[in-house]
Chains A and B, each alone.
Chain A
Amino acid sequence: MRIGLVTPWFGRDLLGGAERLAVDLADRLAERGHDVTVLTTCAPSWSAPWNRNVLAPGISRDRAIRVARFRVDHTNTGAFREINRAILATPHDACTAGLRVADEATEAAYVQHNINSTALLAELARNAADYDRILFLPYLYGTTLRGWHIPRTRSAIVPCLHDEPYAYLEPVAAMMRAAPLLLFNSVGEYELARRLYGPSIDRRAVVTGSAVDAPRTVTSRSPILGFVPETTPYVLFLGKNRDQKGLSLLLDAYQRFRALDPDSTLQLVIAGEGTEREQSPSVIALGRVSDDDKARLLASARALAQPSANESYSRVLVEAWSYGRPTVAHGDCLATALPMRETGAGWLATGVAEWQRVLHEIARADDAELSARGERAAAWIAQHASWSRVIDRFESALIDRSPSDSTGKRPVVHALGHAQYGDALTKAALRFDAALRERGRVSVVTARERDPRLGGLVRDTLDVAPDAVRIAYATGGLPPDLTGSDILVTAEAQLAQLMQAAHRARAVLALNEPTQRAFASAGIPATVLPPAFDDVAWNIAPDQAMLRALQGANLVLYAGTVDSSSGLLEIFETFENYLTFDFDARLAMVGPIVDPDYAEKLHRAIESVQLEHRVFLPGVVSTPALAAFYRSARIFVCNRSWLDTGEALVDALAFDLPVCATSNEYTQSLMRGCGVLVHPAPRIELAALWKVLISDPEVRATVIAGQRRRVAELSASASLDVLEAALGDA
């Protein structure tokens, strides 16, 4: 494979995590025989001016790698500093997934005055086709933000994402939504990306992991700036001294620890760029150290402290484990907390008091106990942090997965009687239409009547190719003009006329299992067309105004049609009880109002207890607005007596909302043992169950893990395979 790697700075002496990763990836991919070209700038490092060309432009050879350097643009560093300061000043609790942290002009200026190279972009525009894949890393610099879309399908982002204000900028979110391939260094980094950009990243996301070199054996015992690691008990911090790296938290905790235990011999050693500036008493500040000194420091430390909450993969944490040393990591950093929980090879601490407590524990523990703790990560390292496995995963991800060839097959027409905005069957037809087109088929959706809000997505029935295969969607009545060559797709089998019509169809696809069983009992073979998460439709920015309006209180969500079978009156009554536990809560019942009388009854019930300002009943809303509801909600509730496509429930599963639904044959077959299904019970008990699902982290995590497994089974491709099988070779 010919692989390009775009990164703002490249050099073997650079110490930043992303810079080291770029070198490692280039080396290891080249070792596997790939032709690797690094496309980078003439700026030497992150700490040098971003608009000054220090290194010479042109092509050079670095071991097996071709390095192409391009001149940086003369961006305005003063303006960038101002913008950057403003963005970084966003408090962490003001960063909400899906909400932008800066206005459009600020975001545009951030990209414009970042490190940029027009010459590099021009090279990409000229020669991107020469590469099989072009990797961009990390996510927050101009070379990535302005370059990733040039190679289009060939680009792959290695974001090295952190939970920091930059990650909430719209240019970053747009890239994460549209890039064809996202490669993550850790499960924690992937989880963060999923939370920030939504479940639609799943199909394009691969956790490749990252690795560290094998431990070095160093025999020297000479002092490092007067400090001999082998003779003193110490906790080690290794990293850049930057605000985001959490060093001040560690220093604060250490000073408190010393104040309580002044006789302790436990030292704090800090090493890395800028650490020499720290002048705290009892802290040994070494500044930047050589690789040999770093190895000695790691090998002799009682434990390594990683207080940063902004990591996509903590290299030093894994390095410490590779030396058999235990580590302390920040409890709010998913990328480090997840492997820490998995291995148990150290401690998690969040606030300063917890860090202080852990320092006491490290000071008290004997050597054998600490070593035993560090050794717990050995199996994890073999599985996740060996380069051969990481590069295996990279190679497998980088192989282009071309869509199946559908050339020469007949066009497909999805025929609806009445195409309605927000209607489940219409959405299903549109989903299949888009997916078939993605597989290279000619496909259109037609309807006799259509909601004007559907725009050009649905055409007139007359506007159809004569040789097309027709898929007729039936709901609430007979499908339009069903013929023997049509495929019938339906979610109901109660209508006698529909049953008769089904006999004439070439194939019957049932949108749920109970419908399929009903057809089967009438002697009509039907196949279940399983529901799927429509990651294409949901790959959008949520409505900002709606998302903002929905913050600040726990939101209980129902999405689906509002009709007499929706059981919404009972849901509302349960919500009244729920307010006993959660006074600020809100309830949203979103979806097309199919039965206005029922909606009126619901309105009256809401008004009778003056809960209008707590309960939203907006009818059908736009997809970005619905995305805002899904992104803001804490629980999804469903009391329907039957489901058509079950799509709203699948969406809830994908958006990681614990689902609490009434148990019936529809929900049982769709959920297959995930979520929480309930039988009739007093409202107060149901309300208390909602409360547990919303606020109990353990129960929530268990339920969501099960739901993730189920949504993985409900893939769009599995559903489309069933449809294509019904289409046969047409």
Chain B
Amino acid sequence: MIDDGNRDLDVTALMAKVHEQIGGNFAASLVSSAGSIEADITTLVAGMEEALQAAESASAVRTSLGKSPMVRRLQPFQGLILRALAYILRDQRNVNAALIEALRKSMRLNVRLAEELDRLKTGQSRTS
């Protein structure tokens, strides 16, 4: 993620601090490739990505309780409630974020496997 152009920075140490912040180490980033995969897999992947984005959006920290009339009555305590929620759900959010990331990587791995299969199939059909 971090460009190694800044000679003053130890990128490895900085990434370790980044992972420390997240609360867990991520596996080395998988190389993404835009190989030729079949259209149905592309559609499937797009659908999965959409679902992941929805999950990601819903897992973000809330800084408002919304605008419904019922919630309006809680307005004076909004800051306190939100802070409490943010604190209570902090671990859960980290878990969610990590799971989403893991799913995304798993998806990329699947794409790569699909590409490999495709390549193998193509090679086999040429030799046979």
- Give chain A's interface residues, CB within 8 Å of chain B: 576-577, 579-581, 583, 608-614, 663, 668, 671, 673-686, 688-689, 691-692, 696, 699, 702-703, 705-706
Measured between beta carbons, the chain B residues less than 8 angstroms from A663 are 3, 5
Q: Is B9 an interface residue (CB 8 A)?
A: yes
Contact of B97 among A580, A674, A703 (CB under 8 A): A580
Measured between beta carbons, the chain B residues less than 8 angstroms from A673 are 5-7
A-B contact count (CB 8 A): 99
Q: With A580-B93, A684-B22, A692-B18 given, name 10 new contacts (CB 8 A).
A: A576-B57, A576-B61, A583-B61, A609-B57, A673-B5, A676-B3, A682-B104, A683-B56, A685-B26, A699-B9
Query: CA–CA, A691 to B90, complex, Å?
Result: 16
- A576:B60 contact, CB within 8 angstroms: yes
What distance in Å separates the Cβ of A711 from its nearest Cβ neighbour in chain B? 15
Measured between beta carbons, the chain B residues less than 8 angstroms from A612 are 64
Measured between beta carbons, the chain A residues less than 8 angstroms from B1 are 678-681, 685-686, 689
Measured between beta carbons, the chain A residues less than 8 angstroms from B22 are 684-685, 688
What distance in Å separates the Cβ of A572 from its nearest Cβ neighbour in chain B? 10
- B3:A581 contact, CB within 8 angstroms: no
What distance in Å separates the Cβ of B13 from its nearest Cβ neighbour in chain A? 9
Q: Is B83 an interface residue (CB 8 A)?
A: yes
Q: Is B66 an interface residue (CB 8 A)?
A: yes
Measured between beta carbons, the chain B residues less than 8 angstroms from A580 are 60-61, 90, 93-94, 97
Give the top 8 A-B pairs by smallest Cβ distance, nearest first.
Answer: A681-B1, A610-B64, A688-B21, A677-B3, A579-B61, A576-B60, A663-B3, A688-B18
Q: On chain B, which size bracket covers the interface?
A: 20 to 34
Question: From B82, which residue of chain A is reached at the shortest CB distance?
Answer: A583
Given the known interface contacts A692-B18, A692-B21, the answer about A678 and B93 at a Cβ–Cβ threshold of 8 Å is no
- A577:B5 contact, CB within 8 angstroms: no
Given the known interface contacts A576-B61, A684-B97, the answer about A689 and B3 at a Cβ–Cβ threshold of 8 Å is no
30 residue pairs of the A-B complex, CB under 8 angstroms, read A576-B57, A579-B61, A579-B63, A579-B86, A581-B21, A583-B86, A608-B57, A609-B57, A611-B64, A668-B3, A674-B6, A676-B2, A676-B3, A676-B6, A677-B2, A678-B1, A679-B2, A680-B1, A681-B29, A683-B56, A685-B1, A685-B18, A688-B22, A692-B14, A692-B18, A692-B21, A699-B17, A702-B9, A705-B8, A706-B8
- A679:B64 contact, CB within 8 angstroms: no
- B17:A692 contact, CB within 8 angstroms: yes
Query: CA–CA, A678 to B62, complex, Å?
Result: 27
Query: CA–CA, A196 to B39, complex, Å?
Result: 60
Question: From A582, which residue of chain B is reached at the shortest CB distance?
Answer: B61
Query: CA–CA, A674 to B6, complex, Å?
Result: 5
Question: 1/0 per position for B1-39, CB-CB distance to A under 8 A?
Answer: 111011111000010011101100010010000000000
Q: Is B116 an interface residue (CB 8 A)?
A: no
Query: CA–CA, A663 to B3, complex, Å?
Result: 7
Query: CA–CA, A691 to B94, complex, Å?
Result: 15
Question: 1/0 per position for B84-104, CB-CB distance to A under 8 A?
Answer: 001000100110010001001
- A702:B8 contact, CB within 8 angstroms: yes
Measured between beta carbons, the chain B residues less than 8 angstroms from A702 are 8-9
Measured between beta carbons, the chain B residues less than 8 angstroms from A705 are 8
Question: From B19, which residue of chain A is reached at the shortest CB distance?
Answer: A688
Contact of B101 among A614, A682, A692, A706 (CB under 8 A): A682
